């Protein structure tokens, strides 16, 4: 059996070695280590200082660009959308600054804004109960459209958002119109929207703050949430919103999916549309929370009025077109030949 004194000596030796190491480290090694750490810290401080200055310059440049856009918007937008009517369709989480800015830009471009159709969170619920409720409501509302002579497209639906896609076709037919198409009376359009509103799927606000739209619109702007949803919820939500935008596009003369820059990153509806993940070519604007982006929304709509228009991605993120930059000429007459159906390839302009 080992005597306790040996244990005690071993313990004392360990602590003595530790103490000697601390002394050596704090004296002989300290100057060299401190010099290296001080040099590294100084380099980091210099790098941070350069980045802060660069960030400040970029912020000043962005502010100047936005001020210029605000000052130039009456000239740039004048007459672009004369004779067109535009409805705003808002997803849950669409921010007021973006919506208000886009509305103002549309008015400056000469468009008549018919009002807002606000989609509630319940519209995007994918439970079996909600899917069935949406399909039932859509079927009932479609009867009103059928009586008026409106025929809905018989397009295929995705199982996880079949209710949303069927409802989107009916809503689009009720709030959109195009030349030489069937135009609904205000009462008929209101009856369709009222059925969805009673089921708590939408809320409708007229241009003057009333409870009804001013009439059917020829074009639409869909505003996505200002923040990207969690991955688990984003999939079906994005598919439903992109499908709705496509239905609005086909029911009228054009539709643009727009949103704030903060909500247009990876996994957003705009990202899915731009990347071709949904297989649906759409015109998008990813910086509609800025004066520049709000001008782009109006210009993008104007581009869709051209014959054989191709949906294009606009904005500030990598891989998009900075601006359609159309000539500030009056838009084609509402009675002119409607723009052709978007090409299935959905390729972006370069």
What are the respective helix, strand and coil percentages of the chain, to the nearest 5?
A: 55, 10, 35
The tokens for 62 are 């962005």
pLDDT in tens, 171-208: 999 999 988 888 888 899 999 999 999 999 999 999 88
pLDDT in tens, 210-226: 889 999 999 999 999 99
pLDDT in tens, 126-181: 999 999 999 999 999 999 898 888 888 766 678 889 999 999 999 999 999 988 88
22-31, 94-103, 272-281: which range is least confident on average? Answer: 22-31
| Residue 27 pLDDT exceeds 90 | no
pLDDT at 31 (0 to 100): 65
CB 118 within 8 A of CB 211: no
Cα dist from 184 to 117, 150, 181, 220, 280, whole Å: 17, 8, 10, 17, 27
| Residue 326 pLDDT exceeds 60 | no
pLDDT in tens, 273-310: 999 877 889 999 999 999 999 999 999 999 999 999 99
Mean pLDDT over all residues of the chain?
A: 87
Compute the average pLDDT of residues 255-274.
Answer: 97
CB 286 within 8 A of CB 259: yes
Q: Which runs of E-coded beta strand occur in 189-309?
A: 202-206, 219-223, 254-258, 283-285
Compute the average pLDDT of residues 85-99.
Answer: 98
- What percentage of the chain has pLDDT greater than the value 90? 59
| CA quadruple 182, 343, 295, 170: dihedral sign | positive
Strand partners, 314: 285, 321
pLDDT at 334 (0 to 100): 52
Confidence band, pLDDT 50/70/90 cuts, at residue 332: low
Q: Model's pTM, two decimal places? A: 0.80
Element (H, E) at 328: none
């Amino acid at each position: 059996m080992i005597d306790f004194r040996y244990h005690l000596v071993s313990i004392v030796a360990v602590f003595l070695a530790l103490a000697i190491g601390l002394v050596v480290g704090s004296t002989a090694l300290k100057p060299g280590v401190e010099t290296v750490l001080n040099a590294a810290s100084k380099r980091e401080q210099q790098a941070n200082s350069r980045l802060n200055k660069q960030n400040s310059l970029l912020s000043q440049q962005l502010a100047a660009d936005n001020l210029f856009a605000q000052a130039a918007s009456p000239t740039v937008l004048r007459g672009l959308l004369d004779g067109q009517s535009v409805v705003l369709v808002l997803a849950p989480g669409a921010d007021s600054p973006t919506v208000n800015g886009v509305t103002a830009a549309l008015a400056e471009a000469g468009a008549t804004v018919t009002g807002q159709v606000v989609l509630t969170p319940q519209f995007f619920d994918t439970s079996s109960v909600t899917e069935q409720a949406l399909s039932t409501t859509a079927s009932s509302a479609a009867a009103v459209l059928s009586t008026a002579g409106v025929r809905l497209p018989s397009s295929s639906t995705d199982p996880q958002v079949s209710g949303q896609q069927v409802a989107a076709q009916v809503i689009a037919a009720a709030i959109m119109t195009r030349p030489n198409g069937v135009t609904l009376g205000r009462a008929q359009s209101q009856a369709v929207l009222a059925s969805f509103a009673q089921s708590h799927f939408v809320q409708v606000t007229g241009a003057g703050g009333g409870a009804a739209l001013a009439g059917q619109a020829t074009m639409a702007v869909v505003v996505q949430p200002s923040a990207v949803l969690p991955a688990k919820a984003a999939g079906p939500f994005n598919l439903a919103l992109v499908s709705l935008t496509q239905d609005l596009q086909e029911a009228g003369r054009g539709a643009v999916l727009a949103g704030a820059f903060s909500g247009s990153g990876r996994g957003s509806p705009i990202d899915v549309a731009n990347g071709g993940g949904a297989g649906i070519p759409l015109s998008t604007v990813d910086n509609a929370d800025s004066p520049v982006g709000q001008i782009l929304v109006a210009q993008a709509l104007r581009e869709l009025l051209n014959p054989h228009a191709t949906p294009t991605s606009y904005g500030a993120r990598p891989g998009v077109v900075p601006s359609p930059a159309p000539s500030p000429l009056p838009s084609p007459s509402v009675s002119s030949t409607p723009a052709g159906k978007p090409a299935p390839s959905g390729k972006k302009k370069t």
